[in-house]
Amino acid sequence: MTHPALIAGVVMAADLPTVINNATAWLVGILAALATFFLTLGGIRYMAADGNPGEVERAKGALRSAAIGYGLAILAPVILTVLKKILGI
């Protein structure tokens, strides 16, 4: 007897809301990891800049990218919730 979610070797998702919730969790995790990477990179660049204006700007750019990444990670579930309500899921 095969599992109902396994048909011809293909695993099927239970339903669309489950797929959306799982994708949201993955998306938030990936965005937070990337933002943390850019935050670390920006901090290291800023400390190593030693007053060099070009390196300070590169560090600020990395820190800006981190802030955007954290913002997107926070807003991703909110945006998907709004989309689910619009689509009636």
Average pLDDT per 10 consecutive residues for the chain, totaling 89 residues: 56 75 88 93 92 92 93 88 83
Query: What's the confidence (pLDDT) of residue 18?
Result: 82
Q: d(Cα 63, Cα 53) in Å, to the nearest integer?
A: 15
The pTM assigned to this predicted structure is 0.70
Query: What's the confidence (pLDDT) of residue 24?
Result: 86
Query: What's the confidence (pLDDT) of residue 32?
Result: 92
Tokens of 14: 């239970």
Tokens of 57: 């700007």
Q: d(Cα 48, Cα 60) in Å, to the nearest integer?
A: 13
Q: d(Cα 82, Cα 84) in Å, to the nearest integer?
A: 5
Query: What's the confidence (pLDDT) of residue 19?
Result: 82
- Do residues 62 and 40 touch, judged by C-beta distance below 8 A? no
Query: What's the confidence (pLDDT) of residue 46?
Result: 93
Give helix then strand counts, H and E, for the chain.
Answer: 2, 2
